[in-house]
Amino acid sequence: MYIRYYVLGGVFLLGLLFSSCGNSSPEEVAVGASSDAAAVVALDSAQLKMAGVETGQARLRRMAELVGSRGRVEAPPQSIASVYAPMSGFVRWIRHYPGDYVRKGTVLTELSHPDLVKLQGDFLESQSKLSFLRKDYARKSELAGEEAASQRSLDLAKAELEIEATRMKSLGAQLAQLGVDTANLAASRNIQSAIPIRAPLDGYLTALEVNLGKLVHPDDLLFEIVDNRHLHLELQVYAQDLPILASGQAIACTAPGRNDTLWAKVHQIGKSIDPESRTTMVHGHFDHEPVPLIPGTYLSAWVYTGEEEVWVVPQEAVVQEDGRSYVFERKASGFVRREVTTGLAQEGLIALVDWPANDDLTLAVKGAYYLNGHLGELSGE
């Protein structure tokens, strides 16, 4: 089941520049909230260092609410080509294999079959016959003008000419679909024994369904080619999250076996909801192409929504007690506990809601629970 995550937007935080609070000489540290002002703990620098107490300040960072989902890398229909045999034939050779990049027009294999030879022979036979019928029709037209031949004979010659012309055109169209240059065939009368199967677009071979000598037919898939220059992302997002999604929002994607993050943007949000899964498809475009993945790759994805700039501290700087949150502020007399309202949290950082603007307060960013423990001891807890 998909859940909503909270995470820092943009570049992952490398950490806050915290300074150690240890000194070379002993010091007195007061620990407590304003209501526990009398609670004072005297600790020397060695004790503070041993407890790992360090200080630092809250920092402004951009954080965003994330909608988590899963999706797949897909290619648009015009970027996928399925190559079939235009006629029955035997595979003569194979020179390209899955993963190879091929250019449009590259010959992937050749097919040979007796029917190919016969079809070309029929075309040349029709060409010769058509030439004879044209001459015969011209001669009978001339005789008809001199009333030396009947109209019926002329009509018959015309019909035979038209029939043969249609037959030759049909044979030529069939040969053209097979990749045979009919103009060259008619001029040279050289019959080719095989036809080339060419790549219809630039891309990577993702499927190879033939082997040497295999007899293939027109309904047999030979190759599949994918142009990965324009891959896109298809996400399944729960309907409850749709109100906070918008075109242009950033998407962070991770793929199995890869340590890097791929970035995309929401391009289009589906207009219908699947009644069974209660999800809607969200279409995204990658920021950088080509994408180093293949169509069908499953991804984990997070859509960045509601991004804003907030004050953040390490999560270990915040102490949880009785359903409330506290930080320890360092003052001249020591550390004072103050209650805070927290917000989004992820990657070891947490937002402080309504934190004073332009704040330069020094806080215990490490060891807060140690300080809070001494506060409990002094108050008799």
List pLDDT tens digits, range 236-287.
999 999 998 999 999 999 999 888 999 999 999 999 999 999 999 999 999 9
Q: With helix as H, strand as E and coil as C, how does 151-216 read?
A: HHHHHHHHHHHHHHHHHHHHHHHHHHHCCCCHHHHHHHCCCCCEEEEECCCCEEEEEECCCCCCEE
Strands 319-321 and 298-314: unpaired
What architecture is the 1-75+231-381 domain classified under in CATH? Beta Barrel (2.40)
Domains of the chain, by residue range, sit at 1-75+231-381, 79-225
Distance CA 329, CA 336 (A): 5
Report pLDDT for 371. Answer: 82
CATH class, range 79-225: mainly beta
Average confidence (pLDDT) over 321-349: 85
Average confidence (pLDDT) over 226-244: 92
Q: Which of 316, 332, 323, 324 is closest to 371 using CA atoms?
A: 316
More confident residue, 331 or 324: 324
Report pLDDT for 44. Answer: 64
Report pLDDT for 358. Answer: 64
Contact 9, 45 (CB under 8 A): no
| pLDDT above 70 coverage of the chain, percent | 85
Average confidence (pLDDT) over 136-161: 81
Strands 262-269 and 40-43: unpaired
173: exposed, middle or buried (C-beta count within 10 Å: 0-12, 13-18, 19+)? Answer: exposed
Distance CA 129, CA 123 (A): 10
| pLDDT confidence band for 42 (50 / 70 / 90) | low
CA angle, corner 81, sides to 78 and 83, nearest 5? 155
Report pLDDT for 201. Answer: 95
Respond yes or no on whether the N-terminal peptide bond of residue 200 is cis (omega within 30° of 0).
no
Report pLDDT for 285. Answer: 95
CA atoms within 13 A on the CB side of 119: 25
pLDDT beyond 60 at 154? yes
Report pLDDT for 329. Answer: 85
Report pLDDT for 344. Answer: 80
